[in-house]
């Protein structure tokens, strides 16, 4: 006769065996190729986010199992250009709540919400903030607070040493993007100082937010409302950003009141992102965002505009340093097209007059897309059949950006760094394939702002500085994804000196 302990183990064993048999032979996804652990464990792949191998692991799985791979008990990744418009082109395939819940900050925002109605209404209110007219107002702020400040810092070091200096571009670009964010999303340095929050504090909040994103991917219940309230100490980063954004809004309102009361004494507030949010209205109803919703969107701007943009800038210069032939072509085009170095170059001119530099930007975003993970969507009623595999409703399906960018059928010879693929007859078509900012109806709303910052920074640094690598083995530096795709040691040492006038 079994004792109680043996009986418990027997029941657990039978239950486990039943679960394994069901998942492997009777499950809706049992015929979809994939690793054994991916079929049995819901969040098996998410652990690789914490180890820093998520993107490369997804690519290896595609190479082993093919274009359709099951990577979790309810998650499938695909490599099929024909289904990209289906999955990402409409709101029928909603964002997966399980995945995007990890990005919530106090409440859902444009990026995190899986509710098409909430997204549509919010998008109508804030879309103009990131439109061409608004960006033209921000361009001078971006130039003055970003590349111009960086160049001033580097030149001061050069003059102090009276010769070439070694600069860590990883740190420099973090300072650059932070300075830009202070200027366009925090009301400028005066407002930043008055709120009594240090740069180190903001970096600590960001690191906490990034860490807890990874933890919530592995333990998604931590993001549920019922537990979120009891684990507030774990989420001090996102709570800190939200509270800080509320203070920015209140400070701006006070600045507006002061100007209205005494315009001679108090200057008008800048036309930055904060001002744009305060002025934004629904085009049909006149509705504006609540303070909490506005603070959430501003907090997203602070977070997303910092690490991804600074990392992308690092990759651009990394690529130029390990591909000197590309570097020389970029410099020749830049100095030939804009020989007068006394005038800043506008973003519109960069796109129109520097095709090779534009090709370099697209190739770098293809090979080194900072946010290169899969972006899952929820399969709607009726399911979807991809390459002969039926994926039923309620499952998550998505495309790994890294795998797609390194897929030979989309980009021939994908491991070769070749900006020329974005020139010539197929150039524009290849640009449309790049998914660094995703694609479709939920494409990154801040992509134009990010591209403007990248373009302006690239051209002015390359025009003014001569660069050479410090490390002889730069091309073999380890790379990880956590979840941002970046150099493992977070360093890019560059020997810098002023470019002589010709």
**How far apart are alpha carbons 133 and 137 in whole angstroms?**
7
Q: Kindly calculate the radius of gyration of the chain based on its CA atoms and give it in whole angstroms.
A: 25
Q: Are 451 and 100 within 8 A, CB to CB? A: no
**How far apart are alpha carbons 276 and 419 in whole angstroms?**
36
**How far apart are alpha carbons 49 and 290 in whole angstroms?**
34
Q: Which of 371, 450, 467 is nearest to 180 (CA)?
A: 450
Helix, strand or coil for residue 497? strand
**How far apart are alpha carbons 348 and 359 in whole angstroms?**
15
**How far apart are alpha carbons 167 and 186 in whole angstroms?**
27
Q: Which residues contact 2 (CB under 8 A, 6 or more apart)?
A: 10
Flag whether 444 is marked binding. yes
Angle among Cα 264, 267, 251 to the nearest 5 degrees reads: 125
- Full strand arrangement of the beta sheet holding 165-168: 165-168, 493-498, 465-469
Q: Are 476 and 172 within 8 A, CB to CB? A: no
**How far apart are alpha carbons 150 and 107 in whole angstroms?**
35
- Known binding residues for heme are 444
- Known binding residues are 444
């Amino acid at each position: 006769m079994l004792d109680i302990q043996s009986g418990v183990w027997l029941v657990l064993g039978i239950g486990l065996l039943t679960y394994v048999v069901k998942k492997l032979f009777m499950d809706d996804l049992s015929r979809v190729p994939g690793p054994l652990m991916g079929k049995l464990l819901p969040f098996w792949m998410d652990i690789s986010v914490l180890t820093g191998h998520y993107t490369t692991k997804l690519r290896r799985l595609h190479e082993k199992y093919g274009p359709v791979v099951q990577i979790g008990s309810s998650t499938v990744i695909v490599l099929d250009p024909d289904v990209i418009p289906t999955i990402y082109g409409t709101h029928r395939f909603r964002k997966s709540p399980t995945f995007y819940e990890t990005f919530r900050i106090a409440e859902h925002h444009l990026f995190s919400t899986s509710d098409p109605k909430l997204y549509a209404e919010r998008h109508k209110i804030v879309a103009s903030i990131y439109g061409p007219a608004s960006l033209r107002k921000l361009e001078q702020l971006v130039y003055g607070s970003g590349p111009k400040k960086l160049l001033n810092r580097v030149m001061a070091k050069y003059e102090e040493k009276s010769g070439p200096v070694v600069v860590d571009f990883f740190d420099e670009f973090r300072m650059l993007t932070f300075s830009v964010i202070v200027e366009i999303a925090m009301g400028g340095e005066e407002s930043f100082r008055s709120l009594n929050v240090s740069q180190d504090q903001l970096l600590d909040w960001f690191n906490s937010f990034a860490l807890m994103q990874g933890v919530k991917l592995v333990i998604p219940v931590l993001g549920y409302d019922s537990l979120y309230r009891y684990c507030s100490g774990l989420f001090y980063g996102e709570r800190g950003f939200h509270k800080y954004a509320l203070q920015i809004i209140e400070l701006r309102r006070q600045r507006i009141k002061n100007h209205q009361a005494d315009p001679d004494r108090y200057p008008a507030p800048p036309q930055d992102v904060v001002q744009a949010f305060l002025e934004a209205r629904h085009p049909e109803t006149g509705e504006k965002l609540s303070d909490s919703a506005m603070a959430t969107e501003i907090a997203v701007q602070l977070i997303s505009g910092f690490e991804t943009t600074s990392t992308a800038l690092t990759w651009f210069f990394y690529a130029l340093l390990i591909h000197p032939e590309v570097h020389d072509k970029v410099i020749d085009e830049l100095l030939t097209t804009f020989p007068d170095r006394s005038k800043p170059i506008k973003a519109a001119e960069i796109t129109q007059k520097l095709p090779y530099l534009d090709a370099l930007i697209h190739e770098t975003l293809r090979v080194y897309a900072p946010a290169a993970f899969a972006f899952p969507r929820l399969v709607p009623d009726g399911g979807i059949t991809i390459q002969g595999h039926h994926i039923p409703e309620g499952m998550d399906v998505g495309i790994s950006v890294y795998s797609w960018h390194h897929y030979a059928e989309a980009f021939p010879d994908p491991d070769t760094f070749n900006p020329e693929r974005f020139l010539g007859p197929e150039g524009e078509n290849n640009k449309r394939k790049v998914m660094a900012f995703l694609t479709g109806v939920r494409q990154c709303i801040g992509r134009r702002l990010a591209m403007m910052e990248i373009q302006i920074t690239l051209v002015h640094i390359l025009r003014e500085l001569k660069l050479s690598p410090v490390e002889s083995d730069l091309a073999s530096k380890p790379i990880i994804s956590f979840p941002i795709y970046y150099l493992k040691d977070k360093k890019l040492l560059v020997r810098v000196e002023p470019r002589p006038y010709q």
